[in-house]
Structure formats: C-alpha cells, structure tokens
Amino acid sequence: MRYSYYPGCTLKTMAKIYEDTALSTAKALGLNLTEIKEWQCCGALYPLNTEEIFSFFSPVRALLQARAGGEDKLLTLCAGCYNVFKRTNKAVREDGELRRKINDYLEDDYIGEVEVVHYLEVLKNDVGFAFLAERVKKKLTGRKLAPYYGCLLLKPWAEMDLDDVENPTIFENFLTALGATVVDYPYKTECCGSYLSMANEDIASAAVGRILVSAYKNGAEAFVVACPLCKYNLEEYQKELFAAGREPQLKLPVVYFTEILAEALAL
Amino acid sequence: MKRIGVFICWCGSNIAGTVDIDKVAAAAGTMNGVVYVDQNKYTCSEIGQAMIKDAIKEYKLDRVVIAACSPRMHENTFRKTVESAGLNPYYLEIANIREQCSWVHKDKEAGTAKAISLIRTAVAKAAMNEALFAVEMPITRRALVIGGGIAGIQAALDIADTGFEVDLVEREPSLGGRMAQLDKTFPTLDCSACILTPKMVDVAQHEKIRLFTYAEVEKVEGYLGNFTVTIRHRARSVDLQKCTGCGECLAKCPAKVASEFEEGLVQRRAIYTPFPQAVPNKPAIDRAHCRFFTTGKCKVCQKVCPADAIDYEMEDRLLTNGYGAIVVATGFDTHKLNDYGEYAYGKHPDVLTSLEFERLLNASGPTGGKILRPSDGKAPKTVAFIQCVGSRDKAKGNSYCAKICCMYTAKHAILLSEKVPGSKAFVFYIDVRTAGKDYEEFYTRAYEECGASYIKGNVSKVFPEGEKLLVRGVDVLSGALVELLVDMVVLAVSVDARADAKELAKKLAVTVNEHKFFTEAHPKLRPVDTQTAGIFLAGVCQGPKDIPETVAQASAAAVKVAAIFSKQSLLSNPTVAEVEQKLCSGDMSCMAVCPYGAISEQVVEERRGREMVTRKIARVNVALCQGCGACTVACRPGAINLKGFTNQQILAEVDAICL
Amino acid sequence: MKITTDKVNSNLVREVEEVSGQKVSACFQCGKCSGGCPVVLTMDVLPHQVLRYAQLGLVDELLHCKTLWICASCQTCDSRCPRNVDIPKVIEALRLLVLRNKGGNYLHPNDLSEKVRRNAPQQGLVSAFRKFAK
C-alpha cells in the first residue's frame, strides 16, 4: 500500500520521535510512505472565518504535490495537520466559490481528489487491527494505557468524520490489538488547553489537571497521544503541578501511539 | 351563448383592501358571456348566498363565477348554493382573488389588474363547464384500526359503540401500547394501568370488535367505502383457543431475552406475555430467541403445557378482509441515543431513559415500584433529569419539540419526591412548556411543593465518577456553572415516528412529513383526515401528543368513520380522469404515473376498415381516481381528460390570461 | 450594560455575522456550549452569553471581554450545539475585529515564557500567534 506523506513542522523538530517511529512501523507493516516535495507549514489551524482565503493555499499546495506524486491518499500524523488538511479538502470539495478562488490564485485545478488520512485510520482500515494483532511481536500485556484523543482528531465531527465524537473507539481498538489494557476515562476527549499554553498557562494547566486525575483514578499508567501539542501540554503541566507540590502528584509518561506501536512490533 | 354571472367578494378588507372592487366589477361586466355582476362584503354569508340564488333565477344565469377566497375554503359551500338554485354544481367556477392576489400583493393597482385577469380566466373556463354527476357506491360497514395502543383502543371502542364492526390489528402479542408501560399519568397522577386495562378488556369483550394481536397489515387496496386489506397473522405458536393462560410455560422456558416492555431492564422468556395485564393474557413464542426454533431442541413449553396449546408447526396466515374505512394509530418509538455519547447512556448503568425510569416507578416493574439504581440497588438521593434529549436538536436529533417531556419530567420529579423521602430532583431544561388544562399547576407543584430545582440549561456532559455521576452544565439565568454530583441521571428522550412508518404509508397511499409522521389533510380544519379519503389518523403517529389529545383524536377519527358508515351509499367524486378510446395509443404512460393505482389495461375490439382488431387501451377506475390529473400530462396523444379540468378548459384559461 | 434599539440594530452585529458566517439569531440559549467548555471557568462572558450579547447588539462589551483570549477553539461547544451554531467562529470574528485594529495584538513574541521558548512545539507557537496576533 502506497501513500503520499506530509510530515509537518513539528515532526521534523520537536516531535522527531513521532516521525521516526511512524516511518519505521509503517515500513514494517508494508506501507510505502513517500514524503511530498516542497511542503510548507500547513498553518496549524483551520481558518474559522469566511475571509481568510490565504490560509488555504499552503494545504492545497501540499495536496497538489500529493496529487502530482500519483498517490490517492495523503497520510498525516500530527493531529493539527490532519485537522487542517481534512477540513481544507472537504471545503474544496463542497464549496464551489472557495474552490474557484483558491484555484484562481494558485493557477491550478484542485477539486479535492486526494484523500486525507491519518496514520491511525490507515492502521484501522487499510492494515486492519486484526492483521496488526497478528504482527505484534511483543504483546503489551498488562500495560494500562489511557488513550487521549484531544480535539483535533475528532472535531468538528461533521467535517472530520473519523470516529464518534463523544465515544470514539479507534484508539482503544488499536491498543487492544497490541495487547494492552485500555483505560476508559471520561476526559479522554476533553481539551488539554491547546495553544492557550503559549499565552494563558494557568488555563491550560487547569485543563490538564482534570485530565490527569481522571485518567489516574481509572488506573492509567501512561497516556497515548497523536498530537505534539497535546503531548507538550500533558507533559509540561504535569511536571509543573508536580514541582509546585499541587495535586495530583503524578508522573504519567505521555507517548505517541507510534512509539507504542514500534515497541509492540519490537523495532 | 352562456349566461354568466360574476359575484365579487370583498372578504371584508381582506380583498377590498388591495383590490379596487368597483373597477373589477366594471371590467367583469365587459367580459364575454357575462350578463350580470354583483359584489358583496361577505359572499359566504347567508345574505351573500341568497343574493347568488336570487340572481341565478332572476337573470336566468347558467354559469356562475365567484371571485373570492381559495376554492379549498368554500368551493363546496358555493356548489351547494348554485345546486339549490337549480344548476349543476359543477357549473360554478371560483376565481381565487384572495390567497392568489390580495394577500400576496400590496400595490392596489397591480392587485386590481391581477384580480381582473383571474376573473377573466374563470369566466373563460366557466363558459366551457359541463354538468358532472357523482355516482353512488356501496359501503362495506366494517372498520380497520391499525395499532392497539390507547389511540387504537379508543377509536375501536367508539366505532363499535355506534354499532359498526371493527377489526383491531396489533403487532405485539398484547394490546396496550406505550400507555401500558407508563406508571402514573399527568396532570392527575392517576394510575395508567388502572384507566387503561378496563378499556383493553372492553375491546376483548366487545361483540362488534374482532381483535387480532401479533398481526400486521400486509397489503391495502381499494378506496373509501371499499378497501381490501390483507393482514398477516404471525405464527404465535400458541393456540389461543386451547391456551388457558395458566403461565406454566413462562416459568419453565430456558431462553431469556431483554424484555421490550420493561425497556430491557430485565429479561423475559422466549415464550412470553409482555406484561401481567396483557390482553389476550396468553403467550406467544418469540421464534428468533426460542431454543427449539434456533437449535431444534427443547420443547419444554410443550411438555409443561396442560392444555396442549403449544403448536410449533403453526405458520403465518394471510387473511383478506373488506373494510369501509381505516384508522391508523401506530404510535411512536422513543429516540435512539446513539449520537448522544456525552450523556454516558450505556456507559454507566445509572443513566436511564425516561421510559426506563417509568418502569422503575411502576409497581409491576422490575423493582416493584421502588426507585433503585440499577448499579447497586440503592435508592438515589439526587437525580438529574435532562430534558430535550433528541428533541429541539436539529444537529443530532429531532428539530421539533416532543411536547410531552416537560410534563412527564415534572411528573417524575414529583414521584421521586414521594417515593424517596429526602431526595432531590434537578431538572435541566431549555424552556418549560406546559400548555394544557391544569398543566402549569402541575409543573408549579413540582418545584414549589416537591422541591425540584429547575435549572435553565442543557447539560453538556455527564462524567461517570466512580459510583456517582458528575453532571456539567450551566444555569443560563444566573450565568453560574453547574457541576452536580448525582446518583442517577434520567434522559427525557424524544418521540420519533415509527421506524417503519414510511412503509405503512406507502401501503396505505398516504403521506408522511419529513419526520415520518403521517400527514393530516389540513393542519387545522382536517387534523384527523389523511389526503386519502376513508383513512384517518389517531394519536402520536400523526405527531407528538399526550394521552388526552390522543384520546380526543381517536374519538374524532371514530366519528369520521361512523359518519361514513351512516350513509346509505357514497357519492363518487365526478372530477375524475376519462380516456377517449380513439385517441389512446395504449402505451400506458398514464398507468406508470398514477399514484392511486386507478388506471389499468383494457383490451378493446375496434373496427379498422372492414376488419375487427383487438388492442389495449387505458381504463380508469373512477372509484379509485382522486382527480389529481397526473395522467393527463403524461398522456402524449392527449387522450385522457380530467373531467371539470379538460385540456380545452385549461387552454381557454391560458388564452384568457395571455391573449 | 443596557439594551437599546440602536445597539440591537447596530452594524457590528451584521459584521460579526458576516465574518463568522454564522447566524447569531439561531441560538436559543440552551447553554450546552457553556456547560461543556473546558476553559469556561476563567471566562468573564460565557459562550452562550457571547451569543446572547451578539443577538442584542452588545458588541462593544464583547470586544472588551476576556473570553476572546480564553477560547481554545477546541470545538466541543459547536459539536454539541443543537442549533448548529459554530460558536468558535463567532468568537473568532470578534477576535478579528479587535486584532485588525492598531495595537490590537494580544500576544507578542516577548511575552513567551522561557519554558515555551525552549520546549513548545511549532504547532503550538504557530497556532497561538495566528489566533492572538495579526
């Protein structure tokens, strides 16, 4: 199975391990990922207004690169990129006026023909969790892992359409396939504070605190994430709360799902 | 030359406000064939009608044009008027200068010009109107009621009490429907079963009612007065004649399945009567779950049955009967909560639907009428009631208000305070709607006397916190955030049309709205009729309503049925399609578009030159034809005409506007 | 705060609706947005109140509220909104009305803490500056 691949800024720097483990596990599972040429930052955020046409250019250019590469699907890892690409693609497909404007600027004719997928989605639909379970070399038996979805993978549901927005199961099924014990807790889809941690740290800290307590109370030993910003927030504020002597006094590791996958595949 | 009279109505200021009546009258006077023009403030009044009759006689009018409101309002009234003056009722023509003119225009000059144009059109058509005559049709004086809930029960009893025969068809093994599941009823708190069960027994014992439970409507043909309906009597596997209802089998059956009647809170057996007061109080075998039918071994019920009533060989039977009228009373489903993960239903056992909570309240329910948490069997001290779950939610649920939830939630809060001393109800609402006799007082009682705290705000999420449930929301009125740790959450689930309502509608040739509720013929003036003559609606299948409204509508439907059956015969609608044999090519395009199945093939013998040839042509069953006219436009050779709306008449109208 | 006919009819409401592409009149004030907001505790005007103020033309009040800088655009609110109102888009429109004015920027590179400079992922930095500065 072949895919175009868009890494995004963070995966080339702060989240190098996310990319490394994604690429090595993909290879081990027989997935062929080709990084697209000439990509830029996707913009990190999908524009939430009717006036910002320029924000669409970078993701559409990347989608055009993917199309030029000849693959049907563009694979993403960072939940932020995934959110931007999936929504941009849907908007281009469905909003004729927007499509016309973007193509006028880019002097091209993109109509949304590339399909945007997340690696988790590929593991579920293209590889199959049953097949994945067979390929596991080191079962994660006894590991109590709390999947943390955050927001960008799932919301807004009408545009992302990855999983049930309130009761998602894709992470759980993935972890189950690896033999881990899945920790169910009601905060797994509650926001970690996102980019507020850059400016309003107290707010992000409070948001993280609630997620930590909920996961811990339900028996979690570690978080599994798909978003570099979620990982940063969960890790940094955990450290901070710990250092400040504030409850909960926890040190729950936060790992990318690809790291866990690499471990299970004994890579 | 026809002698046409034109009568222009002011309709108070409704028409006269935007149409210059004098100008219109002057113009009408110059139209071809018009020999008399008059105007009246209210033509539909007794004086107005008398004026028309007098004018017909005095001026020897033979065609009448009335320029007034929509023919949907008063065409029948005026047809009777001209008939009583000795004219054929179809000599009347209406020019709609209210809905199609004065109400939609502001400019008086333009409105006046348009009114003149509309009248000219009507005059042109009236000149070509032919006398039409209704034919008499016989009536089968037996009614079919579909659905054995309170709506169907009431309709059946009321029809039967007027002396006519009724067949009542119920899909489940027992009568009762949703009302049988309820504990108390608002606003009087009388026991649902206590007022329903006697009616169920009356149905079973009424000499004019035949009760078919475990049966479904398979096929419907025919028309008002003469429907032919095939009913599937599902194999009950229990011989109702032999079974004594002793219940031996129920205790011994080894196969268990979630009880529909108890909303899945407990299990029933594969051979079961849905509830203790069931009518008939005799079981049915649910073959999908019966051990014998699924594995081929068991037959325990047969072994223990002292009456030899178990019959595994029984098969579905299709029986066909004639009916003169049909009442649809198929009720509702509660809204499925698949899209409401935020409320943790199915994740935590103490998050219940309102109908599940109803079963906890009920003395014959799984807890014997005690409110106990499914998780640990303890009485909840704090309960959060969340209203509008699946209602008023155009994103994930029904956009409409389910109407009954505000009242039943108030009832739940009141009953909680009575059954669990020291308990506290929190009711989360968007708006509280209590329009109904004594309803507002009932709601007041919930918060004033029974201590319920009403919080204006839709709960956003329910977090299971160990044994408790954390309910997060906001009090919109104060702007305060709400975080309540409660013992139980009750979701006021919305009311959906039956999942298979559309299929039944298709069988009956009636329509449903976008929410799959059956459509009434007129939202105000014909709320019980459907667009198909002889088929009536009762209860929630037409739209959400409470018990009193359901019963009222059921009785209304019964009167409609009785009114039909009380006639000697029925008069057909004479504005039906008619095939001109020599023009019909026999390609049957008309048959394909006819929504009423009124067109069939007919083989005719014709002389062609010296030879006799046979060929097929279309034939209209005038009893089935509703006069919609679809066939007339589908017919390429123009061989079908709708009487009263012939192609020539329509063209005359077009000419009158355009030329 | 005072509701007046001038305010209710103000052009600002139309501007907010135009920039956001949302109809503020669609909201029937059920509060489900505020109830589920993960960062609502520090907001001075709650999400449902943002819609209410907008409906009544109290846009000036909105342009000065803290809420604009607290919303994380997590889209929990609009994913549960029974009226299909995309509240983060309404808040974004209000934020843009502030940011587009001179001196309207909320976040400057100098404001970043040492920890953020050292460890924060690009994703977070780009997001924050796109939301809080122009």
State the DSSP code for B645.
Answer: B
Question: Residue B10 corresponds to which tokens in the numbers above?
Answer: 């002011």
CA dist B134 → A201, B137, B436, B623 (Å): 83, 9, 43, 10
pLDDT, tens digit, for every residue of B273-294? Answer: 999 999 999 999 999 999 999 9
pLDDT, tens digit, for every residue of B38-86? Answer: 999 999 999 999 999 999 999 999 999 999 999 988 999 999 999 999 9
Q: What DSSP string runs through B266-328?
A: SEEESEE-SSTT-SS---EE-TTT-HHHHHS---HHHHH-TT--B-TT---EEEEEEESEEEE
Q: Does A214 touch chain B (CB under 8 A)?
A: yes
Q: Which amino acid is at B543?
A: G
Judge whether B461 and B342 are in contact, CB under 8 Å.
Answer: yes
Residues 97-126 of C with CB under 8 A from A: 106-107, 111-113, 115-116, 119-126
Q: Does C19 touch chain A (CB under 8 A)?
A: yes
Alpha carbon A97 to chain centroid distance?
Answer: 29
pLDDT of res. A241: 85
Q: Average pLDDT, whole number, for chain A?
A: 95
CATH 3.30.70 holds for B235-315: yes
pLDDT, tens digit, for every residue of B332-381? Answer: 999 999 999 999 999 999 999 999 999 999 999 999 999 999 999 999 99
Among A196, A235, A239, A241, which would you mutate to test the C interface (most chain C Cβ atoms within 10 Å of its Cβ)? A196
Record: contact A229-C73, CB cut-off 8 A? no
pLDDT of res. B385: 98
What CATH code is carried by the domain that includes residue C69?
1.10.1060.10
Residue C81: which domain range?
Answer: 5-101
pLDDT of res. B583: 93
Among A87, A195, A211, A229, which would you mutate to test the C interface (most chain C Cβ atoms within 10 Å of its Cβ)? A195
pLDDT, tens digit, for every residue of A11-28? Answer: 999 999 999 999 999 999
Record: contact C131-A195, CB cut-off 8 A? yes
Q: Which amino acid is at A81?
A: C
Alpha carbon B256 to chain centroid distance?
Answer: 36
Q: Does C49 touch chain A (CB under 8 A)?
A: no
Among C122, C129, C131, C132, which would you mutate to test the A interface (most chain A Cβ atoms within 10 Å of its Cβ)? C122
pLDDT of res. B104: 95
pLDDT of res. C24: 95
Domains B4-126 and B333-496 share a fold: no
Which residues have CB under 8 Å from B449's CB, separation 6+?
A: none
pLDDT of res. B574: 92
SS3 B79: helix
Which residues have CB under 8 Å from B235's CB, separation 6+?
A: B287, B314, B315, B316, B317
pLDDT band at B571 (very low <50, low <70, confident <90, very high): confident
Give the chain B residue whose CA is nearest to the CA of C45: B479
| Min Cα separation C3/chain A (Å) | 27
Residue of B395, B461, B482 lying closest to C82 (CB–CB): B395
Distance CA B433, CA B440 (A): 8
Is pLDDT above 80 for A247? no
Among A9, A11, A46, A49, which would you mutate to test the C interface (most chain C Cβ atoms within 10 Å of its Cβ)? A49
Going by C-alpha positions, the residue among B66, B93, B137 that lies closest to residue B574 is B137
Going by C-alpha positions, the residue among C126, C64, C67, C75 that lies closest to residue C101 is C64
| Min Cα separation B472/chain C (Å) | 6
Residues C13, C15, C20: CA angle, nearest 5 degrees: 100
Domain count, chain C: 2
pLDDT band at A236 (very low <50, low <70, confident <90, very high): very high
pLDDT, tens digit, for every residue of A171-220? Answer: 999 999 999 999 999 999 999 999 999 999 899 999 999 999 999 999 99
Contact list, A78 vs chain C (CB under 8 Å)? 123
Q: Does A182 touch chain B (CB under 8 A)?
A: no
Going by C-alpha positions, the residue among C126, C49, B2 that lies closest to residue A78 is C126
Contact list, B350 vs chain A (CB under 8 Å)? none
The widest CA-to-CA distance across chain B, in whole angstroms, is 100
For domain A2-121, give its CATH number from 1.20.1050, 1.20.120, 1.10.3470, 1.10.1060: 1.20.1050
Judge whether B540 and B331 are in contact, CB under 8 Å.
Answer: yes
Is pLDDT above 90 for A250? no
pLDDT of res. B515: 97
pLDDT band at C26 (very low <50, low <70, confident <90, very high): very high
Give long-range contacts, CB 8 A cutoff, 24+ apart: C41-49: C41/A206, C41/B481, C42/A200, C42/A202, C42/A203, C42/A206, C42/C66, C42/C70, C43/C67, C43/C70, C43/C71, C46/B474, C46/B479, C46/B481, C47/C71, C47/C77, C47/C87, C47/C91, C48/B474, C48/B476, C49/B479
Mean pLDDT of B459-466: 95
Going by C-alpha positions, the residue among C36, C12, C37 that lies closest to residue C24 is C12
Domain B333-496 fold is FAD/NAD(P)-binding domain (3.50.50)
Distance CA B236, CA B301 (A): 13
Is pLDDT above 80 for B13? yes
Q: Which amino acid is at B331?
A: G
Is pLDDT above 80 for B315? yes
SS3 B218: strand
Number of other CB atoms surrounding residue B480 within 10 Å: 12
Lowest mean pLDDT among A91-105, A247-261, B557-571, C25-39: A247-261
Against chain B, the chains showing at least 3 CB pairs within 8 Å are A, C
pLDDT of res. B73: 87
Against chain C, the chains showing at least 3 CB pairs within 8 Å are A, B
Record: contact B464-A186, CB cut-off 8 A? yes
pLDDT of res. C53: 96
CA dist B370 → A267, B364, B379 (Å): 58, 10, 8
pLDDT of res. A244: 85
Is pLDDT above 80 for B310? yes
Mean pLDDT of B459-475: 96
Alpha carbon C101 to chain centroid distance?
Answer: 16
Q: Does C30 touch chain A (CB under 8 A)?
A: no
Mean pLDDT of B389-401: 97
Mean pLDDT of C19-29: 96
The CATH code of the domain at B136-178+207-227+316-331+512-569 is: 3.50.50.60
| Min Cα separation C130/chain A (Å) | 8
Is pLDDT above 80 for A252? yes
Record: contact A207-C39, CB cut-off 8 A? yes
State the DSSP code for A186.
Answer: T
pLDDT, tens digit, for every residue of C51-71? Answer: 999 999 999 999 999 999 999
| Min Cα separation C113/chain A (Å) | 8
Note whether C96 and C113 are same-domain residues.
no
pLDDT band at B223 (very low <50, low <70, confident <90, very high): confident
- Cis ω for the linkage preceding A228 (within 30 of 0): no
CA dist B349 → B339, B468, B469, B655 (Å): 18, 11, 10, 72
pLDDT band at A38 (very low <50, low <70, confident <90, very high): confident
pLDDT, tens digit, for every residue of B154-206? Answer: 999 999 999 999 999 999 999 999 999 999 999 999 999 999 999 999 999 99
Give the chain A residue whose CA is nearest to the CA of B395: A158
Query: Residue ranges of the domains in chain B?
Result: 4-126, 136-178+207-227+316-331+512-569, 235-315, 333-496, 577-643
Going by C-alpha positions, the residue among B496, B466, B471, B498 that lies closest to residue B486 is B471
Is pLDDT above 90 for A248? no
Q: Does A190 touch chain C (CB under 8 A)?
A: yes
In this prediction the pTM is 0.88
pLDDT, tens digit, for every residue of B504-563? Answer: 999 999 999 999 999 999 999 999 999 888 999 999 999 999 999 999 999 999 999 999
Distance CA B47, CA A16 (A): 92
Domain spanning A129-264, CATH class = alpha beta
Could you give the percent of chain A with pLDDT greater than 90? 92
Against chain A, the chains showing at least 3 CB pairs within 8 Å are B, C
Architecture of domain B4-126: 3-Layer(aba) Sandwich (3.40)
Question: Residue B552 corresponds to which tokens in the numbers above?
Answer: 């009222």
pLDDT of res. B139: 95
Cβ-based contacts under 8 A for chains B and C: 73
Contact list, A207 vs chain C (CB under 8 Å)? 38-39
Which residues have CB under 8 Å from B72's CB, separation 6+?
A: none
pLDDT of res. B294: 96
Is pLDDT above 90 for B608? no
Query: Residue ranges of the domains in chain A?
Result: 2-121, 129-264
Give the chain A residue whose CA is nearest to the CA of B471: A186
| Min Cα separation A186/chain C (Å) | 13
Q: Average pLDDT, whole number, for chain B?
A: 96
SS3 B49: helix
pLDDT band at B142 (very low <50, low <70, confident <90, very high): very high
Judge whether C47 and C67 are in contact, CB under 8 Å.
Answer: yes
Q: Does C72 touch chain A (CB under 8 A)?
A: yes
Q: Does B463 touch chain A (CB under 8 A)?
A: yes
Note whether C31 and C9 are same-domain residues.
yes
Give helix A79-94 / helix A57-69 axis angle, nearest 10°: 90
Distance CA C50, CA B459 (A): 18
Record: contact A186-B340, CB cut-off 8 A? no
pLDDT of res. B72: 84
Give the chain B residue whose CA is nearest to the CA of A165: B341
